[in-house]
Amino acid sequence: MPGRSWFIEPMLKNPNAQFDPLTLGYVGSTGTMNSTVWVNANTGIASYKDLMAAKQPVIFGALGAGTQTSIVGAMMAEHGAPIKLVSGYPGSARLLLALQQGEVHAVFLTEDSFLLHQELIAQKRILPILQSRPVQPDIPLVSSAVAPAMLPVLELATAGEALGMMVVTPPNVLAERLEILRKAFIEMANDGEYRAEAAKFETRRATPFEGAQVARMMRDLAASATPPVVTAFNRLKQ
């Protein structure tokens, strides 16, 4: 389980990514995740409309350059949001602490990042104002906060959550063996005991993807990563 977003690096022509994600075997995925633009309520911002009307720059914290936390903030700023992007935080936990303490005013993180901090949301100390998937009612989509021409770049930037946490094999695993693994993965994902255990750790349980679907999604993503899209993505790296 390599983590999130690793597979876009070869698509971005990163010389350090010496592998082809299309040659790997995909066993399955835990399913689509949702990411949200969260703001510290002390800013007085409670909606995307409030953000756009801010009189002072909104400090938007992010992880490393090229991560979706940074690229999404950069796209919003480019589309007119009064955002000052500050990237380079070493991890989600440190970024959440910075948001709580007011060191930054807003972040773009997965809902799962708040697993241990649900009280911040319940007490409305941290507010969601945009989301990447239509999961929470009455919260607009991040796609409405970026230029229409940049939507393919947004798709590439958020591909890690679209494809979810994947189980992957090396290249050239025999087809019949890969099929056995795929079948076992789906049986595990649908097992009642497994789902009960998973519910203790996940904020929202998505529908798992079987491996053939993951492989199709990966091919579609690679096809959409055209030279203009890759150029635009790399330009937005902070």
Q: Is the pTM value of this prediction over 0.85?
A: yes
pLDDT reported for residue 202 = 54
pLDDT reported for residue 94 = 92
pLDDT reported for residue 121 = 82
Mean predicted confidence (pLDDT) in 16-45: 94
The pLDDT tens digits of the residues spanning 178-207 come to: 999 999 999 999 999 988 887 776 555 678
Q: At the fourth CATH level, which superfamily is domain 35-156?
A: Periplasmic binding protein-like II (3.40.190.10)
What does the alpha-carbon distance between residue 115 and residue 53 come to, in Å, rounded to a whole number?
A: 30
In the chain, which segments carry CATH 3.40.190.10?
35-156
Non-local CB neighbours of 125 within 8 Å, separated by 6+ positions? 40, 41, 42, 100
Joined together, the tokens standing for residue 118 give: 């649900």
Mean predicted confidence (pLDDT) in 170-182: 97
Mean predicted confidence (pLDDT) in 26-34: 92
Of the candidate ranges 104-113, 143-152, 173-182, 195-204, the one whose mean pLDDT is the lowest = 195-204
What does the alpha-carbon distance between residue 168 and residue 29 come to, in Å, rounded to a whole number?
A: 9
Q: At what angle do helices 175-189 and 211-224 cross, to 10 degrees?
A: 110
What does the alpha-carbon distance between residue 179 and residue 184 come to, in Å, rounded to a whole number?
A: 9
Residue 86 backbone phi and psi in degrees, to 5: -125, 105
Nearest to 31 by CA among 165, 156, 155: 165
- Say if CB 106 and CB 58 are below 8 A apart: yes
pLDDT reported for residue 204 = 59
